[in-house]
Amino acid sequence: MSVLIVGLSHRSAPIDVLEQVAVDPDGAASLTARVHAGQHVEEALVLSTCNRLEVVAEAGTFHGALAEVGDALCAASGLSREELTPHLYVHHDERAVAHLFSVASGLDSMAVGESQILGQLRDALADAQRSDHVGPVLNPLLQQALRVGKRAHAETAIDEVSRSLAGLALDRARDVLGDLSAVRAVVVGAGAMSGLAVSRLLRAGSRDVTVVNRTDARSARLAEVHGVRAARWEELWTLIGSADLVLTATGAVGHVVEADDLAAARARAGRSGAPQVLLDLALPRDVDPDVSRLSGVRLWGLSELQREGAGEDHGAATDAALRAVQQLVDQEVTGYLVDRRAARLGPTLAALRDSAARVVDAEMARLDQRLPHLPVEERAELRRTVQRVVDKLLHTPTVRVKQLHRSEGPGDYAHALRELFDLDPHEVALAPTPALTMPRALDPTSVPPEAPGAGEVSS
């Protein structure tokens, strides 16, 4: 296994750079296909959220794959290497596994501990599976990452202290508008983040929530699921002008809400100076930053939420929960790497057993030449006896090499076995490799119910 991760996130890049590299689902698919077509890449997956873009690859050669992934990211973003490189991070092998498990557990999210990233990771893996861009290396690794994320939320207190972007945004709205049960709210967009926002609004007691989307069928479907009102796109400005709270998450290219249009809509509704909160959870931005100049209007986008969320005092309970998740991640990383190392021994051990079987066959053939009239029953018993001797001779070194492989780290015990037993490297290469006990098909129950499918982004 040689796993390479190249990416950028809110931890390594400012929001304006993340906006430039943001890709929609079609763009993510194109990026994955380009990386997968590289000479030095065997498998590939792209994880794209509102605050990260990562390429996960199985690298045939590290430097060759790194160059190909870098070229693909530059082509997808339109940025030069000089512009992009300062914001990139690179993880390889063990560090790549640790990073994926941390991401799946919510430890690397802008809103630490949020669970929506699991939906994004699940969808990215499903897309890569359908396109045959993942195989025996990335498929089990990503499935295990999903399981680790699920364990983090099921076995620690992270859900009690985690704050999703939507939850953090609504806290800011509450600071301005007070009790959200009395506000008139409009959610623009019908993706997973919009669904999460509607859910959070209803949990906060909001009774007047309307969903509007360019595609009426999608807004109607989201509204029906949550029991709120859906409106046509033509009603957008009437709704926004009279709303107390507007939350946008459309994923559109360019601003959906311009300052001049908002001013005119508020004037028509007779609310030019009334308090209004706009929460822009889209990347690229849905809302023109100039709306903040309008009287009574407060705007929070991803960059503001990032700064304010990072400055919060998490408290002892949160710190304890995060430590518990980190310990779980560390244990899972160790276990996964041990299992992978053990799996690498499989072809060598299989070749060793084949070699021993050939020795037994050769000796029995020699016995047949010397004692051609040996009764069938006696010959069978002799073969069983010889086989037992061979099995016992191989048992101790086989068990011991597995123990050493697990307890003493990545020594090349497979090479030692090949040398000691004079195994043909070509035969070892053709021997079967035991698969990890992970099915190819994704288990839809492996993602918590509040992870509706788009993870950190979603529009």
Residues 15 and 29 sit within 8 Å (Cβ to Cβ): no
Q: What angle do CA 211, 16, 201 make, to 5 degrees?
A: 25
Tens-digit pLDDT profile for the chain (459 aa)? 589 999 999 889 888 888 889 888 889 999 999 999 999 999 999 999 878 999 999 999 999 999 999 999 999 999 999 999 999 999 999 999 999 999 999 888 877 777 888 988 999 999 999 999 999 999 999 999 999 999 999 999 887 655 667 788 898 999 999 999 999 999 999 887 788 889 889 999 999 999 999 999 999 999 999 999 999 999 999 999 999 999 998 877 779 999 999 999 999 999 999 999 999 988 778 999 999 999 999 999 887 876 766 555 555 766 788 889 999 999 999 888 877 776 667 777 778 888 888 888 998 999 999 998 889 899 899 999 998 898 888 888 878 777 776 665 545 677 777 777 777 766 655 555 544 433 333 333 333 333 333 334 333
Strands 52-59 and 229-231: unpaired
Q: What residues are paired with 245 via a beta bridge?
A: 185, 277
Q: In whole angstroms, what is the distance from residue 61 CA to residue 50 CA? A: 30
Task: Write down the pLDDT at residue 350.
Answer: 79
- The CATH number for 180-310, chosen from 3.40.50.720, 3.40.50.150, 2.20.25.90, 3.40.1190.20, is 3.40.50.720
Strands 52-59 and 41-49: antiparallel
- Which are the catalytic amino acids? 50
Task: Write down the pLDDT at residue 250.
Answer: 86
Residues 240 and 268 sit within 8 Å (Cβ to Cβ): no
Is the pTM higher than 0.85? The answer reads no
Q: Tokens 């790549």 identify what position?
A: 96
pLDDT tens sequence across 260-274 = 999 999 999 999 999
As given in the structure block, the two tokens for residue 451 are: 């992870």
Q: Where are the domains of the chain?
A: 3-162, 180-310, 344-430
Task: Write down the pLDDT at residue 456.
Answer: 45
pLDDT tens sequence across 167-192 = 888 989 999 999 999 999 999 998 87
Task: Return the percent helix, strand and coil in the chain, to nearest 5.
Answer: 60, 10, 30
CATH homologous superfamily for the domain 3-162: Glutamyl-tRNA reductase, N-terminal domain (3.30.460.30)
Contacts of 419 (CB under 8 A, 6+ apart): none
Task: Write down the pLDDT at residue 302.
Answer: 82
Distance (Å) of CA 370 to CA 362, 364, 366, 367: 13, 10, 6, 5
Task: Write down the pLDDT at residue 224.
Answer: 95
Q: In whole angstroms, what is the distance from residue 350 CA to residue 353 CA? A: 5
Q: In whole angstroms, what is the distance from residue 76 CA to residue 372 CA? A: 73
Task: Write down the pLDDT at residue 329.
Answer: 94
Q: What residues are paired with 164 via a beta bridge?
A: none
